[in-house]
Chains A and B, each alone.
Chain A
Amino acid sequence: MLYDNFAMLTKRELLIRIVKLLKEKDLVNGVKYIPVEMRPRNKKPIKCCVHKDRYILKHKIISILGFEITDEEIDLIPLAEFAQKALDNKNTKENILSVVHEACSACMQSQYFVTNMCRGCEGRPCLMNCPKAAISFKGGKASITQEDCVSCGLCSKVCPYHAIVYTPVPCEEVCPVKAITKGEDGTEHIDKDKCIYCGKCMQTCPYGAIMERSKVIDVYKSISDPNKKIIAIPAPAIYGQFNATPGQILSAIKAIGFDEVVEVALGAEDTSRNEAAEFLERMHEGKPFMTTSCCPAYVGWVDKHAPMVKPFVSDTRSPMVYAARRVKEQYPDAEVVFIGPCLAKRYEAEMYVPEVDYVMSFEELGAFMVAYDINVETCEEMPLNPEVTKFSRGYAQAGGVRNAIVEAVGNGYTTLSLEGLDKKNQTLLKMMPKKPEAQFVEVMACDGGCVNGPCSLAPLTLAKRQIKKALEK
């Protein structure tokens, strides 16, 4: 995962500026200044010139405002018009994730490539070891015929000068399901039928070209409408996001203007209870194993790529669902905003959870905190709900669900916690119907669990430490 990455900061700055303008009720007028202010003439441009930089920012803004960016027509429409349309609820974006083609640098097709460090040595191990005869020598230097190359990497391994490098396409490299590929125009395209919304590509693209659909405008509108009741339900991973106590963090969220803040961990109490009961029932029926179902990227992976695992995924709903239901039971008219580190939750909420009105990321939450001048560290402690146990807050990190289930069903079963959907874990899972590795299997698409979710605000080391502190209490 990339930290200290300027593309990520660009996105955050855009979010902050947009939420600030919203709060000042100046979005329509002010939005056009953002690209100029962020890329002034006297600063060195990132791409060829400030104009290209600003043009890219314009596209990213349009994406945040909730419009599809593929349409060429958007070049003719001023930002103010998009802003007005967004405020009027006329944003049309359907895709949860889209590629800002103007920003996508159309990275070179991933390949092995001979650099000019090649000395054309007498040994020529690259030539000798290439199984496909893809290497030839021109002017005393090695060169790879791309049509013949099968990317086995042997040449690169044997070159004593490290002269042969692999140039990856970063987003394609990290996608666990090959859902993102180059189109004819050279830029990347996401196949909706394959994508599981793990968010890896978005996190990795060094141009910040892959943008999620934002709901900041809708959330802002509800917060600022005195006739609406709006309730935030932050995911357990929230406790890792600030240098503050859980109580302070919850009251900071409330200070933005939410009428109420209810921990998703409260819903995790229901998930743990139901999941434990379901697990015991399935074991009783003689089923070989059961996996969790609270990570929507994992569930998406099963649905789209591993149907043989489907019968073994629990039917219990995620903590988000139960938390939202509890809120809606108490306040049927309230709007519910899930706040989390997760891109796939946007998909889950939209497809399966009518009780959740909006999904907001921790990054977007951070933008609200800045715009509303909230300093988490100085916020007062909000009393925590005594119903919520540390096992439920523990859902924030990998192993948390397993711990909660073991707590409920005892130590008599074999358990396993899988982090990340890398090749190894994908194979392991696909084999499990034939060869179960354990009776209870927790699966989190993110390495480390939600604390390492793709829309996190705090760096991982800090987040882990803060969660540890929160759970010790």
Chain B
Amino acid sequence: MEKVNLKICVGTMCYVMGGAELRDVVESLPQNIIEHLNVSYSPCLGCGKGEETPPFIEINGKRVAGVSKNSLIRIIKEELRDVV
């Protein structure tokens, strides 16, 4: 089964602008979700370009802006629906 590629920005901009807990959210996901994910952390996903607001993540190559700890779970679940 294909895994979902999830890249979380742990850069300072995203951290300061409300993304401080994104790493925690991912690390506390239950095993049955984690096993479908390829998680990596990035020091910057290229903020500062365009008008979108941090924090950023990338899921299966798509960049998502303005992620909160609540929306992150939703985004992951949605993406998983296509895979599982």
Q: Which residues of A contact B (CB under 8 A)?
A: 4, 9, 12-13, 16, 37, 40, 43, 242-243, 363, 366-367, 369-370, 373-378, 457-459, 461-462
Contacts and interface: CB of A to CB of B under 8 A. Distances in A.
A400 B18 CA distance: 28
Given A243-B10, A377-B10, A462-B24, A13 B17 contact: yes
A278 to B, nearest CB: 39
Nearest to A378: B43
B29 interface: no
Contacts of A12: 16-17
B12 interface: yes
A361 to B, nearest CB: 12
11 contacts: A4-B18, A4-B69, A16-B17, A243-B10, A243-B20, A366-B12, A366-B15, A375-B11, A457-B16, A461-B24, A462-B24
Main secondary structure of the interface of B (DSSP, over half): helix
Contacts of A458: 20
B5 interface: no
A374 B12 contact: yes
Given A4-B68, A370-B12, A375-B12, A9 B21 contact: no
Interface residues of B, number: 18
B65 to A, nearest CB: 12
B13 interface: yes
Nearest to B13: A370
Interface in B12-48: 12-13, 15-18, 20-21, 23-24, 43
A243 B23 CA distance: 9
A114 B39 CA distance: 51
The 10 closest A-B pairs by CB, nearest first: A366-B16, A369-B12, A370-B13, A370-B12, A458-B20, A375-B43, A9-B18, A4-B68, A370-B16, A459-B20
Contacts of A4: 18, 68-70
Most buried by A among B15, B23, B53, B69: B15
B2 interface: no
A377 B70 CA distance: 23
Contacts of A374: 12
Contacts of B69: 4
B82 interface: no
Given A9-B18, A462-B20, 17 more contacts: A4-B69, A16-B16, A40-B51, A43-B51, A242-B15, A366-B12, A366-B15, A369-B16, A370-B13, A375-B12, A375-B43, A377-B43, A378-B43, A457-B16, A458-B20, A461-B21, A462-B24
A208 B65 CA distance: 22
A420 B51 CA distance: 40
A367 B17 CA distance: 10
Given A40-B51, A375-B43, A378-B43, A16 B13 contact: yes
A454 to B, nearest CB: 16
